[in-house]
Structure 1
Amino acid sequence: MRSLLWALWALGAAPQVLAADTLSTSGFQICQSDAPIQVQKLDVSYTRSSKEVVFDVAGTNTKEQKVMATLTVTAYGRQVYSTSFDPCGTKVHVDELCPVPSGNFSAQGKMAVPDDIASQIPSIAFKVPDLDGQAKLVLSTEDNKENLACVNAVLSNGKSADVTGVAWVSAGIAAGALAFTGVSAMAAVGGHPGASSSSPGFGDVMGWFHSMATNGMLSVSYPPIYQSFTKNFAWSTGLISWNGLQDSIDNFRKATGGNLTDDSYTYLGTLKSNSNANASATKRSLDLISRSLNLIPRSDSSDGSSNSEIDNIKKIAEELMVPSANIFMTVLLIFAIVVAAVIVGILLFKVILEVWALYGKFPEKLTSFRNDYWGLMARTITNMILIVYTIWVMYCIYQLKNGDSWAAKLLAGVTLVVFTGVLAFFAWRIIHIARKYKKAEGDTSSLYENKETWRKYSLFYDNTKTDFWWLFVPLIVYMLAKGCIIAGAQGHGMAQTIAQLVCESLLLILLLWGRPYARKSTMGINMTIQIVRVLSVVCVLVFIDELGLSQTTKTVTGVVLIVIQSVLTAVLAILIAVNAMISLFRENIHKKRRREAEKANGLDDLTPLDARESLLIDHPQRKDYTEMSNFNFTGPYEPYHDHPADRPDSAGSHKGLVYADYGVAHSHNPSDDYRDDDRSRSPSLEGRRPTVPGYGMAY
């Protein structure tokens, strides 16, 4: 009796809605295709409160015969139970299976579980999400010389780390970051250099969500609990199931050479329907089927088997009801819908402003948007390309490598070239402008101080220090390399993980060496995110089958990863709110420096006879001069410099002095000095004009 109870508890076909104290079998797989006995239906569950097993078994048999059963149960990669029993024996006896009849057979019923057996089931088995339990049942002839049937199954308690609420919460966090980033973008339209976005911004948050999602797409044997967790963030990569959309993509593929036989939305729907035919439908159905498909490779992982057959991009997509051949087209259409929504939103706001202008006066801050809405639209789309670039590279290469539609492959290739070309153009353009500023002015600070330059290109470098404006270039290379590694090396878990670890480590070294961000808060956030990325990839090494680590070690590592990544996600959510409030009261460092420079520029052409030295004129408070002096490293009446100005020696130039002959004998006009200084301070390379002579010149 005890052996049969273990068998009924360990085998099952379809997932079902489970109570809080219920264990069930789910996601069975036939492991002997040509077996004389074929199991077609098996629905078994055990309820702790009633200590009762309910079973429903059906199948076909080529001839009537008696069988022997061998059952092996494993939990977290370790064998916890193994036994052999005879359904016709005295200890275990089932009339419907003694002997197994020829043709169709079935057996249903309920069986009470003795207390001594029920007490052996640990309480934690009912609480741990994504219980990593497996069972294998082999039916053989009475003399054990020939196997008649083989079934693998997954044990489940109905709990999972894949929770719809987590996906909605993460989407809410991204929406909050988008709102704050949008406000900053509107400020940038006004032409205020240094008005950078708050951090963490929308790009930071989406980049982090992308990292968590792609961390579950490498070709390694993940513990079920961690892969279920990463699936909560798959929406950020564009994997969003939509019935009508998937049907349209299937039709498009069919018309362009695609094969829909076993890779279409209809096919996945059929699998799900079949899985639910024997039990109540749940959202876990396809997930459990997918997990069952990996039972054999995972059970043999301790022997050092390869990860070459594991395609977790395909697995996650199909669990979300997106056929693997539809992945790229799904992401492409979702991206197109978002871009269209952005364009319509901007144009609609433009129309509202025009109507407002006809009947009233709108705020002056919106004037820049009204005049430059096309530029804002272009910059927004460019920013979207920058945010999704890693994901886009990954899915394009995956489509080119595994797709079956020539048209989809063509679109993947064209869009990959276009997106890469757009980012390469902006990189070249910014580098070109920076070199011009460097040649004309000695530094590149005008990238931050010139209004027109800032308005056009600041989305690439707005949070970095002036000396690290170029940081976006290695970041683009990093995103390109990461996407190529994940998709290009799919099926080679060891090489894939090591290459990604190198990629993440190089970026971390760059950030630690340069500390390139202007604000300490931004520096801390980006450093923390990158450190966690590196640690996450290090943990993924544990999941590689070639290392031969136990399933228990993998599961513990997966739980640790979930905790670390969840904490960082919560911290980002808090920081979004905190930094939003801080940004209302704290001025951007580049904007502050520009204002201080303008104050200094207005005072550096004074002479002892200047009318502004009159006692009748109010003067700025001395503390302003002190702050200006500290900032310029010189004095309150000297011009602003990014670096300490070179002071002439005592026998050096007399530039700026008023001679007794007013410069006639010396062939020198003091106003030329002021014009030279004014030209050196101009942040723009174009449209410079000589200034009028300074006040206080004696004639």
Structure 2
Amino acid sequence: MFARIARLRFLALLTFSSLTAARDDSLFTSSVTYCSPPETLLIQQFDIAYFAKNQSIWFNISAASVDPNVNVTANVMLNVYGMHPVNFTVDLCSLFSGALCPLPMYNFTGSDSIPIPSSLGVSDKIPSIAFQIPDLEAYAQLSLTEVNTGVLKACVQATLSNGWSTHQVAVEWATGALALLALLSAFFSSFTPGTLAPFRLFDLLYLYQWTASTALLDLNYSSVYRAFTINFAWAMGLFPASATSPIQTSINNMRHLTGGNMADATGGSAVALVNRKLSPYNAMSSSTFSASSDQYAGIGTENLWASYNTSSANYVSDISVASVQELSAAGDVQLVTPSSANVLQAGVPIYVNSVGIATANSFMTVFLVVLMIAATLLAVLFIGYCILAATSRYRRRTGGYIADWHHRYFSFARAWLLRVCLIVFTPVAIFAFYQWTLKDSWLSIFLSVILFLAVVGYILYSIVLVHRLALRSAPSELYTQPDLLASHGPLYAIYRLERFYATTPLILAIFVKALFIAFSQVNGVVQIVAILVVECMVLASLLVLRPHKSRGADVLATYLAITRVLCTGLMIAFLENLNLGAIPRVVIGIVIAVIISVAVIVMFINTLVNMGIMRLVPAHYRRRPGATPGGLDAEKGAENDEKDWRPRNPTPERNIPLDPDVNQPYPDSPSQTLTDHQSVYSEESGSTTLGSLLPRRWSIQQSQPSNRSRSNSQSQYSTSQSNYSPSRSNYISNASSPRQSIPPSPLHTQSQSHSRQPTIDERPPFP
């Protein structure tokens, strides 16, 4: 019966093998609801658990029978991932010598442990994977039907759990600690222009928010994936709360005073109110509410009760106390039928109620969180300004540095305000739009409009300012104006000059996805197709534009975009219209969770690299062949330095033409300076005169001197040429004192008009 469940063994054991040994294998009720209006049987509490260690049942039941003279048959059905391995009907009149026929009218309250006889073979019908797979999708249903009329007198459903779930408080704290680490790194790195940490903060939080937003669609998610996404609910401003928390109570009071009439959050588990067509119930039709088979009637339930008197207390001692304490109480038992108004539909209702927040309270919770973030930002910026102002009054040696920061501080503050607006844009857009569809409280709608306009208005103002300046003058102006780069740099500073607009497609994509998430809640096909198209367009823009300054940054952005496209495509399997089996949906949910987990690990490593963790590695291990010291930024191994992107070879990539007026041979006489240029290469001699000394400025006179003076100057010029020193110092000395008398050299035996030109070996070095 459970053969198909065995296919989940590998994935479950791979992920949770280290944890399963610390807990007793058990199945217990996680929620209890009526599946039909109670007429005969009233239940206040119904907790039951099965322990595989000693094959015993522990129960804690409080119930009452209120209808006299009722003879009923009991149908017990077990639904596991849409299958029915157990489905039998028992005539209660045949049990206990007719003590339960008719049903006695009294209150029954009790808690104890009962051993199960091995003859029933319960352990053989429950595979070991059922105790290890996280977020088990199973429930038990008890139906009481009147014998004579066939009328359903009572129906109770209890979801089952094994205690394992992909939603772990430790994971929430770990992801939060990573975000805090990235925030601190971004804050301290923002004092240095050109660093990557402030930009990676947005990438990390957007990954968290995108993961949570994938569970807000009208899809039949597997329970394991829905529980996994709850780990990132805090990134959307949805911190786990209880129905009686002060914040949720205040929001409820505000809504009810301003026209709100929607239900508050339930005190029990939200799983109890989930639509029965969705996980974990997987009941595709309402036929499961009635008894469907009596093939297991008289299965031997008498033996179960007959063996109860045989030292039942011994079974309790074998079970750890912690296992019993972890069993979830059912709480208030509510009536949930296919036509009930309190049924939670797929998307936002199930998700927010799973963290203890009512559907109508979702936006107001996000609103209060955004206000807290804004207040914290303003307080930090105000304290920083006060410290800067106080320091500037007593500045001495650091006066220039303090004055410079005093001038740049407001640009620094505007930059962080823009970063915060970009971070909160996703949850504000989604839940503000969704609040408009509820039409619950006029004050909630008004506040949603104000917050949405404030966040979107500042982002649009920055985008328009940047694009207008780039179109009016040139994109280079965006990078040459320090104040603009410091205040609006979060939009374009990470991109190349010609790709300054690369952030705009991402912001537009977030806005479009928020529209489909909020306004297409009744059509999951439209949602998933539209969001998949948007994610593909974002990926295509990254592949075509390649906007970042380094290849590593393009690779990281493309990897995150591929992750979003791949996971969104896999979620097509969650469409209700496909009627895909529960087990394939669970496998796909685990695969998506693994892909997202790998992306989170990549961002964790990236955050450590941005913090300078690579500096702890010896230089000869982290320096690549041919790389220059200091040529990489903090993001080594992931991204190249954005500032040191110049070519490593200083040789020009093309030949630079030389000025023909400069590259000329040394003239034989000053008169040649006024004649045509001669060739620098002689075919007869095969020698070149490139690099010869240029004529001195003093040899060129404004007026025409006499022939005698001209002859004397030529003689002096020729003499000074022949007496240079090969050293740089002598060359500079001769050039700096052109008028001093230099005795003629015996080497010069040629005439003044045919003075010898220096050879290559005799030429002075280039100064």
What is the TM-score normalised by the length of structure 1?
0.74
Q: Which residue in 2 is equivalent to 1:249?
A: 251
Contact 1:42 1:55 in 2 (8 A): yes
Distance 1:36 1:148 in 2: 6
Residues 472-526 of structure 1 show CA distances to partners (whole Å, capped at 9, x for unaligned) of 2222211110111111112322211111111111111111222222222211211
- Offset at residue 634 of structure 1 (A): 6.0
Structure 1 alignment gaps of length 5 or more:
1-17, 189-194, 276-285, 439-443, 597-622, 639-659, 663-699
Distance 1:238 1:434 in 2: 35
CA 1:297–1:287: 2 relative to 1, 3 Å: closer
Amino acid of the residue matched to residue 250 of structure 1? N
Q: Which residue in 2 is equivalent to 1:576?
A: 607
**1:441-452 maps to which residues of 2 (within 5 A)?**
444-452=475-483
- Offset at residue 583 of structure 1 (A): 8.9
Amino acid of the residue matched to residue 433 of structure 1? L
- Offset at residue 108 of structure 1 (A): 5.4
Distance 1:142 1:489 in 2: 47
Q: Which residue in 1 is equivalent to 2:652?
A: 629
Quick check: 72-81 or 107-116, which moved more?
Answer: 107-116
- Offset at residue 367 of structure 1 (A): 4.5
Match of 1:353 among 388, 392, 396: 388
Quick check: 530-539 or 119-128, which moved more?
Answer: 119-128
Distance 1:200 1:135 in 2: 50
Match of 1:258 among 257, 260, 269: 260
Residues 156-201 of structure 1 show CA distances to partners (whole Å, capped at 9, x for unaligned) of 112211111101111111112222222332223xxxxxx1423871
Q: Which residue in 2 is equivalent to 1:390?
A: 426
Q: Secondary structure at the match of 2:612?
A: helix
- Offset at residue 356 of structure 1 (A): 3.4
Structure 1 position 65 matched with structure 2 position 61: no
Q: Secondary structure at the match of 1:136?
A: strand
**1:293-332 maps to which residues of 2 (within 5 A)?**
298-301=281-284, 310-332=345-367
Query: If each structure's helix is expressed as a fraction of its own residues, which one has the higher value?
Result: 1
Residues 212-237 of structure 1 show CA distances to partners (whole Å, capped at 9, x for unaligned) of 11111111111111111100100000
Residues 669-699 of structure 1 show CA distances to partners (whole Å, capped at 9, x for unaligned) of xxxxxxxxxxxxxxxxxxxxxxxxxxxxxxx
CA 1:533–1:302: 2 relative to 1, 3 Å: farther
**1:345-494 maps to which residues of 2 (within 5 A)?**
345-357=380-392, 358=394, 361-362=397-398, 367-438=403-474, 444-494=475-525
CA 1:475–1:403: 2 relative to 1, 3 Å: same
Residues 408-428 of structure 1 show CA distances to partners (whole Å, capped at 9, x for unaligned) of 101111222232222222222
Amino acid of the residue matched to residue 457 of structure 1? H
Q: Which residue in 2 is equivalent to 1:599?
A: none
Distance 2:642 2:406 in 1: 25
CA 1:361–1:96: 2 relative to 1, 3 Å: farther
Distance 1:446 1:634 in 2: 30
Distance 1:235 1:96 in 2: 53
Quick check: 564-573 or 70-79, which moved more?
Answer: 70-79
CA 1:554–1:364: 2 relative to 1, 3 Å: farther
Q: Which residue in 2 is equivalent to 1:126?
A: 131
CA 1:451–1:374: 2 relative to 1, 3 Å: closer
Distance 1:520 1:233 in 2: 30
Contact 2:65 2:105 in 1 (8 A): yes
Distance 1:337 1:402 in 2: 25
Contact 1:180 1:197 in 2 (8 A): no
Contact 1:78 1:551 in 2 (8 A): no
Amino acid of the residue matched to residue 379 of structure 1? A
Structure 2 alignment gaps of length 5 or more:
1-21, 287-337, 616-629, 634-639, 660-696, 701-767
**1:153-192 maps to which residues of 2 (within 5 A)?**
153-188=158-193
Amino acid of the residue matched to residue 126 of structure 1? F
Distance 1:636 1:152 in 2: 88
Contact 2:136 2:280 in 1 (8 A): no
- Offset at residue 464 of structure 1 (A): 1.6
Match of 2:91 among 86, 89, 96: 86
Amino acid of the residue matched to residue 231 of structure 1? I
Structure 1 position 202 matched with structure 2 position 240: no
CA 1:25–1:144: 2 relative to 1, 3 Å: farther
Q: Which residue in 1 is equivalent to 2:620?
A: none
Match of 2:105 among 98, 102, 105: 102
**1:458-607 maps to which residues of 2 (within 5 A)?**
458-581=489-612, 585=630, 586-587=632-633, 591-592=643-644
- Offset at residue 210 of structure 1 (A): 0.4
Q: Which residue in 2 is equivalent to 1:222?
A: 221
- Offset at residue 451 of structure 1 (A): 2.8
CA 1:478–1:351: 2 relative to 1, 3 Å: same
CA 1:302–1:294: 2 relative to 1, 3 Å: closer
Contact 1:219 1:311 in 2 (8 A): yes
Q: Secondary structure at the match of 1:629?
A: coil
Contact 1:88 1:98 in 2 (8 A): yes
Q: Secondary structure at the match of 1:100?
A: coil
Contact 1:47 1:53 in 2 (8 A): yes
Q: Secondary structure at the match of 2:231?
A: helix
- Offset at residue 82 of structure 1 (A): 1.4
Q: How many residues are treated as equivalent by the alignment?
A: 560
CA 1:61–1:177: 2 relative to 1, 3 Å: same
Structure 1 position 30 matched with structure 2 position 53: no
Contact 1:29 1:293 in 2 (8 A): no
Amino acid of the residue matched to residue 499 of structure 1? A
Contact 1:290 1:319 in 2 (8 A): no
Q: Secondary structure at the match of 2:232?
A: helix
Contact 1:218 1:496 in 2 (8 A): yes
Amino acid of the residue matched to residue 525 of structure 1? L
Structure 1 position 138 matched with structure 2 position 161: no
Contact 1:478 1:503 in 2 (8 A): yes
For the pair shown, which has the larger CA radius of gyration, 1 or 2? 2
- Offset at residue 140 of structure 1 (A): 0.9
Q: Which residue in 2 is equivalent to 1:234?
A: 233
Residues 29-85 of structure 1 show CA distances to partners (whole Å, capped at 9, x for unaligned) of 211115433433322111122321123441333123222112221211222221111
Distance 2:346 2:97 in 1: 41
Amino acid of the residue matched to residue 210 of structure 1? Q
Distance 1:94 1:205 in 2: 66
Q: Secondary structure at the match of 2:134?
A: coil
What is the TM-score normalised by the length of structure 2?
0.67
Distance 1:40 1:294 in 2: 26
Amino acid of the residue matched to residue 450 of structure 2? V
Amino acid of the residue matched to residue 156 of structure 1? S
Amino acid of the residue matched to residue 566 of structure 1? S
- Offset at residue 551 of structure 1 (A): 0.6
Q: Which residue in 1 is equivalent to 2:44?
A: 40
Distance 1:95 1:364 in 2: 97
Q: Secondary structure at the match of 1:73?
A: strand
Distance 2:209 2:657 in 1: 49
Distance 2:285 2:551 in 1: 46
Superposition CA RMSD, Å: 3.3
Contact 2:159 2:272 in 1 (8 A): no
Contact 2:275 2:345 in 1 (8 A): no
Distance 1:362 1:95 in 2: 96
Q: Secondary structure at the match of 2:74?
A: strand
Distance 1:222 1:39 in 2: 30
Residues 136-163 of structure 1 show CA distances to partners (whole Å, capped at 9, x for unaligned) of 2221123572222112221111221111
Distance 1:213 1:206 in 2: 11
